[in-house]
Chains A and B, each alone.
Chain A
Amino acid sequence: MAIGWYLAVSALIFCVGAAGVLVKRNPLVILLCLELMLNAGNLALVGFARMWGNGDGQVFALIVMVVAACEVTVGLGLIVALHRRRLPIDVDEMRELRG
């Protein structure tokens, strides 16, 4: 398959993830949609690595995976902290900062 097909799939997955981030209100699902967008970037990186015939893009894809795992850890910790303080798990309800 030509790389363009992979890029089209990557673009569609990225758009689905962006739609989820914009529309959904549960922060858990928003984190999942962030994962979707990062994975779309990964697919494009690996596709370009295949296009050039070397492994440079795959190294970037691995780094993106590590960043995604760290981001998930921090985000899920925040959600658990919200839950323990009995705050609503809804991004529309979280409007104010308290010290």
Chain B
Amino acid sequence: MADVLFFIAGIGAISGAIGVIAARNPFYSVLALVFHLLSLAALFLLLRAQFVAAAQVVVYAGAVMVLYVFVVAYVGDQERPLYAPTSNLGAVGVLFTGALAVEAVGAVILARRRRGIDTEADERRTLSVGDLFRRPPGIGTRAESVGTRPGGREEAAVGAKSADRDLGGW
């Protein structure tokens, strides 16, 4: 159930974000951002951050977005095309963003695949692309997120903590 809700809210958040930059009219961008913020509030609820979720809805979607709507209505739509190149820098921007996406998501995946640092020899061992193709050692614990070696002292402490706090999920 939590997994289904996560995917619904996550896809909603990402599609809302894409809608912000894809809409031609700034007014629709603001509406897409409101949808994005509500999806993000659902994600915060899944992370058990109830107060942050409530503040997100009340402060962001309630107050800040109303300010945006008023300013967009005041300044007005400029009727500009989605992409009208005045220079070649737009393509460079898209290129840099693609590189950033590859780097950021790759960093998350690499951190999941890394097997952790316990000894000094591990500290000398650097992160490599080959780690992408190895299986992650621990499932459902903090080790899965940050990559602690199973059986290490960190893992034992975290395992004991996650048992009584239910860190792994719902």
Taking beta carbons and an 8 Å cutoff, which residues of A are in contact with B?
1-9, 11-20, 22-26, 28-29, 31-33, 35-36, 39, 42-43, 46-47, 49-51, 53, 55, 58, 61-62, 65, 68-69, 72-73, 76, 79-80, 83, 89-90, 92
Contacts and interface: CB of A to CB of B under 8 A. Distances in A.
Chain B interface bracket (under 10, 10 to 19, 20 to 34, 35 or more): 35 or more
A77 B80 CA distance: 22
Interface string B1-26: 01100100010011001101100001
Interface of B: 2-3, 6, 10, 13-14, 17-18, 20-21, 26, 29-30, 33, 36-37, 40, 43-44, 46-49, 51-52, 55-56, 59-60, 63-64, 67-68, 71-72, 74-75, 78, 80, 83, 86-87, 90, 93-94, 96-97, 100-101, 104-105, 107-109, 111-112, 140, 142, 144-146, 161-162, 165, 167-169
B14 A16 contact: yes
B75 A11 contact: no
Given A36-B33, A51-B142, 15 more contacts: A1-B2, A5-B6, A8-B109, A9-B10, A11-B104, A16-B20, A16-B21, A22-B96, A35-B60, A42-B56, A47-B47, A55-B49, A62-B52, A72-B64, A76-B67
Contacts of B29: 28-29, 32
Contacts of A61: 49, 52
Interface of A is mostly: helix
A65 B56 contact: yes
B165 A53 contact: yes
Given A32-B29, A43-B40, A46-B49, A65 B108 contact: no
Given A19-B21, A22-B97, A23-B83, A69 B43 contact: no
Contacts of A6: 6, 43, 47
Contact of B80 (A1, A16, A26, A58): A26
Contact of B97 (A9, A15, A49, A51): A15
Contact of A4 (B67, B96, B144, B165): B144
Nearest to B92: A22
Contact of B71 (A53, A65, A69, A76): A76
A80 B68 contact: no
A18 B100 contact: yes
